[in-house]
Structure 1
Amino acid sequence: MTNPNGQTPAQPTGKRQLRGASPVSSSTYEEKRAPAKQEAKAEENYGGGAAQFPGEVAAEMKKVIWPTGRQMVNYTLIVFAFLILVTVLMWGTDVLAAKLIGWVLIP
């Protein structure tokens, strides 16, 4: 395959060549790693202790979008329907396994 200039393009050997990035040297590696170390230290300073916990919980609970009564009824009916379906499947598997074992073991 040739480009509009009639030359065959060089094939990239990896992702760095596709993006035009330069090879990594030890000095550039350390420069790139330095911000990650600072971010890790910032993450270690989270939380305010046990005294602030109840206030933080209350603040987070205010952010929750609570379902309406109609949505709760729908969700409850869906859960019950699923439980009935799983119960019927398990019961059917149990009955089938009992009949199969009885047919194999009892002459």
Structure 2
Amino acid sequence: MARKIVDEPSEDVVENAKKDRAAKRNPFARIALFIRQVFTELKKVVTPTRRELLNYTLVVLVFVVIMMAIVFGLDQLFGWLAVIVFGNPPA
């Protein structure tokens, strides 16, 4: 894909500039930057309402119960097939 604007830097140039800037920072500045970025991201978090939380919890529980039923059914099936193939185990 051809670039239409010549003055615009490519993504590679921007990435290299960011890496060079990050390499020049001392460890304490990088830690401070990380903490500022963490707080910025935490401000973006939206907590669910009580109704949404209950809905999400119900969906997860139903999914887990369905998966347990599938695994139980497959376990019973393979156990039954093993008894048919190999015979009854000694008592």
TM-score band (shorter)?
0.5 to 0.7
From the two aligned structures, give the one with the greater helix fraction: 2
Q: TM-score, normalised by structure 2?
A: 0.68
Asked if 1:85 is matched to 2:66, the reply is yes
Deviations 1:18-63 (A, max 9, x none): xxx8xxxxxxxxx9xx845422323323595112322321121111
Aligned pair in 2 of structure 1 residues 36, 52: CA closer, same or farther (>3 Å)?
A: closer
Structure 1 residue ranges, 4+ long, deviating more than 6 angstroms after superposition:
none
CA-based RMSD of the aligned residues comes to 2.8
Would you say how many aligned residue pairs link Structure 1 and Structure 2? 77
**Identity value in percent:** 30
Select the structure of larger CA radius of gyration: 1
Structure 1 residues not aligned, in runs of 5+: 1-15, 22-30
Q: TM-score, normalised by structure 1?
A: 0.59
- Looking at structure 2, the residues matched to 83 and 77 of structure 1 have their Cα atoms a distance apart, in angstroms, of 10
- Looking at structure 2, the residues matched to 102 and 40 of structure 1 have their Cα atoms a distance apart, in angstroms, of 61
